[in-house]
């Protein structure tokens, strides 16, 4: 049995103009310590899927087993504990603006009644882990996007998670910062037992860090497999479309770079 097993998952929303089938009969297996990517265009159902994984959304039907446990059967303390072990990071970081960086990282430990001295020590250690020990006293508004996401990662690690869900965690960051955040997530993965699920609309995020990928389109799983397999030999129109978007973006980046170089040469020659 896989570490995470999603069976016949459906999620419908009742909206003003009728019902939306955000996830349609999704079946997916994620192994322990995978870095598993879920890719799709906006509206594909990616966020709904991860929100079902940590029970922020209640599935309309279907089963989600984590480590053999049907998470929908959990209640009270067991449910709270399971949720604590599934950390999540977001595109907009979701930091507490009125709290210092240190107090943000301490926050989950406060909820879990970790003694104050232990909290502070662990938070400082985690800030060192993400390269922000000198920002402990700063406030979120004083940080760059990349630094904010590092705080969010330290905060997630404060609960000793089994799983980290990343919902477009690098989508608000520039390409260079994206690289450093993905490298940090990879390093955390490589030095722990944590299973990482990365949700993104960007193929290059998946290529950089994931071992396996699932392609979602309008709530339907189109294909899944190793990243090499799926990206080098796409079988679905949805994957081919994502590849086309990536290639077009890379081409325009190249054109921009060449234009910049030409500009610099002109300056030198002038
Ligand atoms: N709370 C909600 N109420 C109604 N419709 C929703 C809700 N959340 C998501 N949806 C709809 O479900 C579909 C999938 O959305 P979402 O999971 O956010 O996609 P993605 O994260 O891939 O962009 C979209 O059509 C969206 O409008
Ligand atoms: Mg989303």
Q: Would you write out the chain's pLDDT as a tens digit for each of its 270 residues? A: 999 999 999 999 998 888 999 999 999 999 999 999 999 999 999 999 999 999 899 999 999 999 999 999 999 999 999 999 999 999 999 999 999 999 999 999 999 999 999 999 999 999 999 999 999 999 999 999 999 999 999 999 999 999 999 999 999 999 999 999 999 999 999 999 999 999 999 999 999 999 999 999 999 999 999 999 999 999 999 999 998 888 888 888 888 888 888 888 888 787
CA of 102 to the centre of ligand 2 (A): 28
User: Is the residue at 78 inside a domain?
Assistant: yes
User: Is the residue at 47 inside a domain?
Assistant: yes
Pocket test for ligand 1, best of 16, 40, 45 (most atoms within 8 A of CB): 45
Specify the pTM.
0.93
CB-based pocket (< 6 A), ligand 1: 13, 15, 20, 22, 40, 42-48
User: Is the residue at 11 inside a domain?
Assistant: yes
User: Is the residue at 129 inside a domain?
Assistant: no
Pocket test for ligand 1, best of 10, 26, 37, 48 (most atoms within 8 A of CB): 48
What is the spatial distance between Cα 59 and Cα 225, in angstroms, rounded to a whole number?
Answer: 24
Residue 128 has what pLDDT? 97
User: Is the residue at 202 inside a domain?
Assistant: yes
Other CB atoms within 10 A of residue 79 CB: 14
CA of 127 to the centre of ligand 2 (A): 28
User: Is the residue at 9 inside a domain?
Assistant: yes
Residue 126 has what pLDDT? 98
Total count of domains within the chain: 1
CATH number at residue 221: 3.40.50.300
* Domain membership of residue 26 as a residue range: 4-85+165-173+192-269
CA of 17 to the centre of ligand 1 (A): 14
């Amino acid at each position: 049995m896989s570490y995470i097993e999603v069976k016949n998952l459906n999620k419908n929303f009742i909206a003003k103009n009728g019902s939306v089938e955000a996830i349609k009969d999704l079946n997916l297996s994620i192994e322990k310590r995978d870095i598993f990517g879920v890719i799709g265009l906006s509206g594909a159902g990616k966020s709904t899927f991860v929100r079902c994984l940590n029970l922020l959304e209640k599935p309309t039907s279907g089963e989600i087993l984590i480590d053999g446990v049907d998470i929908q059967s959990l209640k009270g303390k067991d449910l709270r504990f399971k949720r604590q072990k599934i950390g999540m990071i977001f595109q907009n970081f979701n930091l507490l603006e009125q709290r210092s960086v240190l107090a943000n990282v301490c926050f989950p430990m406060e909820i879990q009644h970790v003694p104050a001295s232990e909290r502070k020590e662990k938070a400082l250690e985690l800030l060192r882990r993400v390269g922000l020990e000198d920002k402990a006293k700063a406030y979120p508004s004083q940080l760059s996007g990349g630094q904010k996401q590092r705080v969010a990662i330290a905060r997630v690690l404060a609960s000793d998670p089994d799983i980290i869900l990343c919902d477009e965690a690098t989508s608000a960051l520039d390409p260079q910062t994206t690289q450093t955040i993905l490298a940090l997530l990879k390093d955390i993965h490589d030095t722990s037992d944590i299973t990482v699920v990365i949700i993104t609309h960007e193929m290059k995020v998946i290529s950089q860090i994931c071992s396996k990928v699932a392609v979602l389109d309008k709530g339907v799983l189109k294909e899944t497999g190793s990243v090499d397999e799926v990206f080098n030999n796409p079988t679905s129109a949805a994957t081919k479309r994502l590849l086309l978007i990536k290639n077009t973006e890379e081409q325009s980046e190249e054109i921009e770079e060449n234009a910049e170089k030409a500009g610099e040469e002109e300056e030198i020659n002038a």
